[in-house]
Amino acid sequence: MTIREAASKSLSYVFFDFEWSQYNLSVEEFRKLLEALENFSNKTKIIITIASRSKNFDINSKTGKATVNKLLDVISSYVDISGLNIVAGNPTYLSEDEKRKSTSRTLISLGEYIASRIDTKTDVFIGTEKILKTAAILARKFNFKPFLLLSNNIDAEIKYISKIVRNGETACYIPFSTTLKEEELIRKTWKYILRREHARNALMSANIDLKNLEEQLQKGQIKDLPTETKRIFVDVMKKFVVYGEGNGLKQSLNKLINKGINIIVGLPLSNSTGEITALAAWKNS
């Protein structure tokens, strides 16, 4: 998917995640992207994700604070087409030193600093994974948008956010596909599923040996999985991934909207442009 495709289909946001360093947008790359998009007729907002535990955005260090300031300067110059997503940072993408930093303290420090310097019109999302209470407090205090991840605990998290934040908008990240079959979805998402604490707990409660399961999936032995193991994994996967042809995607997204989600952030799991078309069709319906 290109940014132009997203804009042409009237999608409201395109998110750039914080993952492996070689794939993350630099501040200068972000600026150039916004400059190129400034004259688009459809104002799709580009949201850049930053991690509070990453040394690159550590406001208690000289270089980290300078990077954050440069980023905020760029956003202030393109406030109509840009925004921020603040997360604590998934341990998978952090160094050993960064992993040891407090998720709560770093998120509070970064959130408070950004709130003190950013235009109130700027969209700021705040990640909630493993830090729901802290994120909710910051969202209420600074009008940030809580950013949930689809899971088997989503109903409880929506309820908690609505109680704490009340009138704010809430977003939800949803990996989805309208084209891939279950076996290919397992191949595409198993690493993501096994990184999620709620998924691991659900699998262990069903007496699944996670180490053995991971070894089999790593080798691509999906067809060789015991029938019951595969069934249980698929049942868990359905709580973290939305898939299905026809009205399956539409029905799943509408259920989330009815529960209190205002913004759907979809990750297409195939390279088919039909995935984006389906998401846009739902949004514009």
Q: How confident is the model at residue 4, as a pLDDT?
A: 62
- Residues 154, 152: Cα–Cα separation, whole Å: 6
Q: How confident is the model at residue 7, as a pLDDT?
A: 55
162 closest CA partner among 132, 200, 142? 132
Class of domain 3-177+245-283: alpha beta
Q: How far from 101 is each of 52, 90, 126, CA to CA, in Å?
A: 9, 12, 18
- Residues 256, 250: Cα–Cα separation, whole Å: 10
Q: Which helix (H) or strand (E) holds 65?
A: helix 62-77
Q: Which two tokens stand for residue 197?
A: 């604490």
Query: First and final CA of the chain: distance in angstroms?
Result: 21
266 closest CA partner among 187, 186, 172? 172
Checking if the pLDDT of 5 tops 70, the result is: no
Q: How far from 283 is each of 13, 48, 272, CA to CA, in Å?
A: 12, 22, 18
Give residue limits of the domains in the chain.
3-177+245-283, 182-237
Q: How confident is the model at residue 3, as a pLDDT?
A: 57
Checking if the pLDDT of 271 tops 70, the result is: yes
218-259 pLDDT, tens digit each:
998 898 899 999 999 999 999 999 998 767 888 999 999 999
Three-class SS state of 223? coil
pTM over 0.95: no
With cut-offs at 50, 70 and 90, classify the pLDDT of residue 2. Answer: low
17-66 pLDDT, tens digit each:
988 777 789 999 999 999 988 877 667 899 999 999 999 999 999 999 99
146-164 pLDDT, tens digit each:
999 999 999 999 999 999 9
